[in-house]
Amino acid sequence: MDKLRKMDLNKINKMLMEMASGNFFYRLERTGNHDNLESIILVLNMLAEEIQEILIHQGYANLNGIVKHLIQLNFLLDMQGVIKGVNKSTCLTLSYLHEDLLKKRFDALLNTKSKKRWTKYLKKIGKKGFYETSMELTFVSKEGLLLPHTCHIGSCEGQHTQDNGIWVTVILFSKDRKERDELQRQDIISYKEKKTTGSGNELKTTKNRPKLSFEDIRKIREGRNLILNNLEKDLPSLRDFALQLGTNEFKLKYGFKELFGTSVYRFLLQERLRKAKMLIQYTDFTIKTIAYKTGFKSIPHFSRVYKKTYGYAPSELRKISRKDP
């Protein structure tokens, strides 16, 4: 029961962070319990829905208003409903690495009700051959947040039967935060180094650092979130990872160092060890299971890196954490 409550609280925290960043399209799954936690979930879902409706209405009522552009989630599936291709926004919205979505069943991204609806559609499209419709589907992100939306779905026929497939398009309205982003960009990072010379009253400007736009910063933060949500996975090459984020390798490496004070791979290692430490202290997983859950390929390697970082072996921490207070 405590584990379930912790999971719900983590999801609430994630949704609050999304709302704080201007994303009001996620929803929390209802627990079905009559308690304070269920009340919080209900209120948050209602609040997000109300704000979303206000933003979209104002965007349509005033062309110079809040909603300016669209984000599309696009899936290309084979006739059995297996994902053959997705666009970048899909990966970022659902917090999956690109390679983890490919060859995954589409219904694995849906909640229970939507899975049943999708199964009926697959049977229908199998009989009709060429079919197009719209339906309400609720996606589930890797963190467990719900994303309910109307999807436009249809079949597409290729030159050969094996080329036939299904496409799914989801359209999300997004806030235009250009002015606010520019103000934040000015506050977040300064790209010119200045140093004091002489008495300290005279400033001399040194060589400018490479500049990161606020959009660059947003993409690098999305990269950080993808790493945190996929610690058990091997990270793609920095070039491929940068392409998935919509940037280049240089900006990814430089931006990570600038924003988080470390390299991409060092950040990944630090977060893997941090999560491993928590799992050792607060779960009953074996050391072997924890090593694999945090992306380490072998127990000796995990133990060696862990001891080098913390000064003691994982098994020693487990013994301490199991002692009665």
pLDDT at res. 215: 85
| Residue ranges in 82-194 assigned as alpha helix (H) | 88-94, 98-101, 112-128, 178-188
Asked whether the domain spanning 267-322 has the same topology as the one spanning 69-174, the reply is: no
69-174, CATH topology level = Beta-Lactamase (3.30.450)
pTM greater than the 0.85 cutoff: no
DSSP H/E element including 73: strand 67-77
Helical H segments across 159-263, by residue range: 178-188, 214-229, 238-245, 249-260
The region that residue 83 occupies, defined by phi over 0 for left and psi between -120 and 50 for alpha, beta otherwise, is: beta
Task: Give the per-residue pLDDT at 190.
Answer: 41
159 contacts: CB under 8 Å, gap ≥ 6: none
Spell out the domain ranges in the chain: 1-59, 69-174, 214-261, 267-322
- The answer to whether the CB of 236 falls within 8 A of the CB of 244 is yes
Q: Give residue 4's pLDDT band: very low, low, confident or very high (50, 70, 90).
A: low
Mean pLDDT in residue range 266-288 = 90
pLDDT band at 22, cuts 50/70/90?
A: low
CA angle 194-195-197, nearest 5°? 140
Whether pLDDT at 82 is above 70: yes
pLDDT of 183 higher than 50 = no
CA angle 133, 157, 96 (to 5 degrees): 70
**Do residues 100 and 233 make contact, with C-beta atoms less than 8 angstroms apart?**
yes
In this structure, of 55-69, 103-117, 161-175, the range with the lowest mean pLDDT score is 55-69
Q: Which CATH number fits the domain 267-322, given the four candidates 3.20.20.140, 1.10.10.60, 3.40.190.10, 2.40.110.10? A: 1.10.10.60
pLDDT tier at 173, thresholds 50, 70, 90: low
Structural contact between residues 135 and 165, judged by C-beta atoms closer than 8 angstroms? no
228, pLDDT greater than 50: yes
Asked if residue 193 has pLDDT above 50, the reply is: no
Q: What tokens appear for 224 in the block?
A: 């950080």
